[in-house]
Structure 1
Amino acid sequence: MDSDALTKIAAAIDSMRPDFSALSDEIWDHAELKFEERRSSALLAKALEDNGFAVRRGVAGMDTAFIGEFGSGKPVIAFLGEFDALAGMSQAAGLAEPRPLASGGTGHGCGHNLLGVGSLMAAIALARHLKDSGLPGTVRYYGCPGEEGGSGKTFMVRAGLFADVDAALTWHPAPFNGVRSTNNLAVLEYYYRFKGIAAHAANAAHLGRSALDAVELMNVGVNFLREHMPQDCRVHYAITDTGGRAANVVQAQAEVLYLIRAPEMRQALDLAARVEKVAQGAAMMTETRVETVFDTASTNLLPNITLETAMHENMVALGPIAFDEADLSFARSIQQTFTDEAIRSSLRLYQIKGDVFSNAKIDGSTPLHLGLREFERQSHFRAGSTDVGDVSWVTPTAQCWTPAWAIGTNPHTWQVVAQGKSAAAHKAMAHAAKVLATTGFSLLTSPQLLAAAKTEWAEKTEGRPYVCPIPPEVMPGAGH
């Protein structure tokens, strides 16, 4: 990485940080759910237009999906942004105790307010540097809605919006700083809707056919199935409709949502076929009918060690984040809400075993990760899923993590929401922007690096072409 370019890009992002931290906070304030992120997407798209990007809105059949583009010609470097929130995650910012702002309200429990804006800063900073230096190439920002259970990127990939992209870069807030190569799981989501016959549960129970019984029997059957599936697979469920609150009525309808995960999509499809047999068996036992409704899906992540190594090298060059005592104090108060096991679990989850900067402690004794995680140049298993996986099957893709959260913080918790507007989170967001922008610059100025990343991608995908797991007739949110 050109040290002069790194310094200029980093300085540009530092100058942007106050305004873009305010933008991230505004998105946090509105906390919109998947495919409903109208205000959040509008704010991000306007920021792109204000900085000279041409913006296409409503792409891939999603009102809140958009693409911003700057420059022309090859290579095309994509930055992925997310901005959706989670239901039931309402929480006041800056407090180290659970305190919802609204009962049952929404909240940014995965830090996507930071994620979307950090990628935005990277795209804008790199575009400015291209303009100032006269370099060729195209910078794109992909406004990706519905990551949380909606698979917005999968729909964008299905629409061919990444067909000419040479490489894609993204990041995620975390309790650590660094690159960690992961093999995330493929996931399929189905609603199983049972239809029966209502009846008075005392006077005429023999005339009823209980859809709720069918749901319960299906869940029992899948529980037995868990013993006989590959150990890296996962199956989760939630009963989304119990058929009503009256116990003296035989429930005529009931519904359960299943998430079926596996290391590769073909395995997920095989497991889904077995779950379908359990659902049909439950319907047969209860003399009800079942309708299986496909909701959405995401493909397993395909790591690219070449890109990840380049990203790590830029993180080394940038150095650690300059957290101050106020940052540490707030993180310490958050960390006190965790058990020792939660902190150890966080370190295990993110595979933090060593640090590039020798003076940084990584054993949980400091509340924020002050250094940089060692990069092993090999992939690790991770049981979660992300629609970044679908992007990785059509273009070389890499991501980093930066410490927006205290060590011990787990995603989808009130503690994440509480830290979403903190000064430390803003610093971590800006640091991620620097990593993404400098890695994008490396790709734009090093044909050898880009060629090596593409070679690795081609080798990993050879004989395993990408097949979109979402049928062409399914539209975003169709299962709801």
Structure 2
Amino acid sequence: MQNENPVWPLVDARAAEFTGLADRVFDTPELAYTETRSCAEHTAMLKQQGFRVTENVAGIPTAVMGEAGNGGPVIAILGEYDALPGLSQQPGIATPQQIADHGFGHGCGHNLLGSAALSAATAVKDWLEAEGITGRIRYYGCPAEEGGAAKTYMVRDGWFDDVDIAITWHPGAYSAVDDMRSLANTRIDFTFTGKAAHAAGAPELGRSALDSVELMSVGVNYLREHMPDQARVHYAYLDAGGIAPNVVQAKATVRHLIRSPDLQGLADLVQRVRAIADGAALMAGTQVSSRVFSAVSNLLENRPLSEAMQAEFEALGPVPFDEADRAYAREIRETLTRADIDDTFRSVAQRPDYDLALFDTVAPLNRPFTGGMGSTDVGDVSWAVPTVQARVATCAVGTALHSWQQTAQGKALAAHKGMLHAAKLMAATARRALTDDMLRAAAKKAHADHLAEFPYTCPIPAETKPPIAAE
């Protein structure tokens, strides 16, 4: 290959080690803040590769950081390894088949995400050592992206204060530099306390906490008509008050997930939801207390970094899938709908190609935004330090994240190829950031300009601790 970036072969040289790491994490899926074995695998790999390792980052037992190099700029590469409930799935087949009673599975590709990030950091470490260049590369092993907001706690506690540039990626059905749009969100647990009573003999003596929860749900549902179009509120009952209908429920808890396109809008919406909770308690004659479980900020695009990563992506080209990869992808595609496939192409603002099995191009950077938005704790890193993120194809066109189809493809050769491709892209972008003083300066200026207009306030209160105990 002409003009081969010197970090690309360093990724290839250790490909078997890091695909093995991804597969081991796939085989031991663990939920937010319980990723003991997954974190141990990443920690062991960091030590094996010669990084200086810091464990228990931000007081979180399943967070780890590895650093290599000395002096100079600090480039962070972010990894994740938490799984999801309800997505246990036999890999390598194209039919839904659960493999574990607990139901956990890597339906968002985080087994690949963390391994590629660590592969990229290792390649940059090896390049720094070979060239004798001053600079530091860090790998952050970040747990609990799925609703636990570990990176938000890490940012709040200062773990990114001396970082110059942060880089990450996410597996998906297409390849592109991320448009860095996401929803800020917070998860708040509302607990209503009432008074138990015999539901038939003396219901007038009771004050139902469950009534309060249901009244709150009604109020929030009426609020939906009066929220901004891109705002969202979801909820789940954590404690419905018990299983005895003949007892007036004295205590009940509901978790509300509140989302908004930016932190300012989130604060306004949270205030309105809290007022509804107070009203529900007043109507039912109960008391309400609340606790912030987690919260994340919206992503900030850093245009200089996005343009730099786009150039590296175009130099690298699309993931080199072969016919065997496409054959399995076609099997998966048969389980998907046209709407699923439409969604992939909507994300890159392209006309749908219903015959395409695996995404075989790199989407342009300047494309109109036509997709929906989720949330990620990478958002808070992007407020703390200039940040860039890629999406790299690892699965069939139309595959939705948080689906059994995503889990089924988690150990496929196509997934491994996409993972290693992402590692090359991140390593090349990190190399550019380490050696290009003008890029770092431009990225920092763009970041500072935004903060001057919209200062950052961590959405998790200072007194709130990471929810490390199983909940």
Q: TM-score, normalised by structure 1?
A: 0.95
Task: Check the 8 A contact 1:182/1:380 in 2, yes or no.
Answer: no
Task: Check the 8 A contact 1:242/1:254 in 2, yes or no.
Answer: yes
Q: Distance in 2 between matches of 1:3 and 1:325?
A: 24
Specify which of 419, 423, 445 is matched with residue 435 of structure 2. 445
Match of 1:131 in 2: 129
Specify which of 410, 425, 446 is matched with residue 435 of structure 1. 425
Task: Check the 8 A contact 1:283/1:290 in 2, yes or no.
Answer: yes
1:456 and 2:454 are equivalent in the alignment: no
Structure 2 matches for 1:407-422, cutoff 5 A?
Answer: 407-422=397-412
The one-letter code of the counterpart of 2:286 is: T
Specify which of 348, 351, 368 is matched with residue 348 of structure 2. 351
Q: Distance in 2 between matches of 1:443 and 1:366?
A: 34
Q: Distance in 2 between matches of 1:306 and 1:378?
A: 18
The one-letter code of the counterpart of 2:442 is: A
Match of 2:464 in 1: 474
Render the CA deviation track for 1:23-74: whole Å, top value 9, x for unaligned: 1010011111111111111111111111111000001010111110000112
The one-letter code of the counterpart of 2:342 is: R
Specify which of 50, 53, 68 is matched with residue 52 of structure 1. 50
Q: Distance in 2 between matches of 1:140 and 1:20?
A: 17
Match of 1:173 in 2: 171
1:434 Cα deviation after fit:
0.3
Specify which of 360, 365, 368 is matched with residue 358 of structure 2. 368
Match of 1:31 in 2: 29
The one-letter code of the counterpart of 2:294 is: T
1:379 Cα deviation after fit:
6.9
Q: CA RMSD in A?
A: 1.7
Match of 2:388 in 1: 398
Task: Check the 8 A contact 1:295/1:478 in 2, yes or no.
Answer: no
Q: Distance in 1 between matches of 2:167 and 2:367?
A: 17
Structure 2 matches for 1:150-165, cutoff 5 A?
Answer: 150-165=148-163
Specify which of 87, 93, 96 is matched with residue 95 of structure 1. 93
SS at match of 1:260: strand
Task: Check the 8 A contact 2:309/2:429 in 1, yes or no.
Answer: yes
Task: Check the 8 A contact 2:171/2:393 in 1, yes or no.
Answer: yes
Match of 1:340 in 2: 338
The one-letter code of the counterpart of 2:449 is: E
1:322 Cα deviation after fit:
1.5
Q: Distance in 2 between matches of 1:449 and 1:45?
A: 31
Q: Distance in 1 between matches of 2:368 and 2:98?
A: 40
Distance 1:125 1:380, change over 3 A: farther
Task: Check the 8 A contact 1:196/1:252 in 2, yes or no.
Answer: yes
1:246 Cα deviation after fit:
2.1
Q: Distance in 2 between matches of 1:10 and 1:400?
A: 17
Task: Check the 8 A contact 1:110/1:416 in 2, yes or no.
Answer: yes
Task: Check the 8 A contact 2:349/2:367 in 1, yes or no.
Answer: no
Match of 1:359 in 2: none
Identity of aligned residues (%): 48
Moved more, 51-60 or 337-346: 337-346
Q: Distance in 2 between matches of 1:83 and 1:101?
A: 19
1:164 Cα deviation after fit:
0.9
Q: TM-score, normalised by structure 2?
A: 0.96
Match of 1:13 in 2: 11
Aligned pairs, number: 470
Q: Distance in 1 between matches of 2:41 and 2:48?
A: 11
